[in-house]
Amino acid sequence: MTSSIAGLRAAGLVVGALALTGCGSKGGGLPGERQACRAPAGDAAVCGPGLVCMSDVCVRPPPADCDQVAAALVSLEVGNYASREERAAKLPAKRALCEAQRISATEGACLAKATSTWAAGDCVPRLFPQAEGSGCEPVIGKMRAIIASAAGADPSAAPMIDKALAVMRASCEEDHWPESLRRCILGLGNDPREFEACEKATPPELEAKIKARMRQVER
């Protein structure tokens, strides 16, 4: 599955590096509305969820059209082929969620283009709190065990494996691997070819990010 799992090559071993909602960062401790923006050395000024820093103060950006946001969220949840009645029944709750979370116009535009729940979570992480706090370490540990089992005692494989798994850990944490993908990896056996079983759990957008990360490693 080298196309959907960016290729990891070590001592002739080709193992896919996989693409999840999950290991997101939380907004606790960030400045709230009308508070001064916090700007750590070398970093851009940041504010709490749903806020932007303007003139050194955290403010609420223009709101999204919650009817459009609700329609996008319902489509992601039930699919485009659900009945009109089923979709209509879910719209009020999604509209209320949009209003409660104060989704911004920029976030709403991003949601409208999202083709998967993973991508939607990338647009507005606070809409998917169930994914936050999920550990990536067990997933990377499982990947290491599978790769080590296939590579055997070949010492020449270790440096590339360590480098590639570091990239995978960063991707899991920063690109928010979806829970379905993480569960798939944890349920694998010890044969690297089983990575292919997790292909369907890898959103195309995440696949592209992983490929880009792995290309940097292979240079």
Note whether 165 and 183 are same-domain residues: yes
* Sequence letter at residue 183: R
128 found inside a domain:
no
Beta carbons of 64 and 73 less than 8 angstroms apart: no
Q: Which residue has the tokens 């949840």?
A: 77
Task: Show pLDDT as tens, one digit a residue, over the chain (219 residues).
Answer: 333 333 333 322 233 443 222 223 333 467 788 888 865 544 445 777 777 888 888 888 899 999 999 999 999 888 878 898 999 999 999 999 999 888 999 999 999 998 887 778 778 877 775 444 456 888 888 888 887 776 665 667 677 778 888 888 888 888 888 877 888 888 887 777 777 778 777 888 888 888 888 877 666
Res 67: pLDDT:
96
Note whether 140 and 194 are same-domain residues: yes
78 found inside a domain:
yes
Q: Which two tokens stand for residue 46?
A: 């940041």
178 found inside a domain:
yes
97 found inside a domain:
yes
Note whether 213 and 138 are same-domain residues: yes
88 found inside a domain:
yes
* Sequence letter at residue 31: P
Res 21: pLDDT:
24
In the chain, how many domains are there?
3
User: Which residues span the domain enclosing 162?
Assistant: 6-24+133-218
- Taking alpha carbons only, the member of 30, 44, 38 closest to residue 57 is 38
Note whether 173 and 190 are same-domain residues: yes
Res 14: pLDDT:
30
125 found inside a domain:
no
Note whether 83 and 153 are same-domain residues: no
Res 206: pLDDT:
87
126 found inside a domain:
no
The last residue of one of the domains, among 60, 85, 104, is 60
Rounded to two decimals, the pTM is 0.48
Res 93: pLDDT:
93
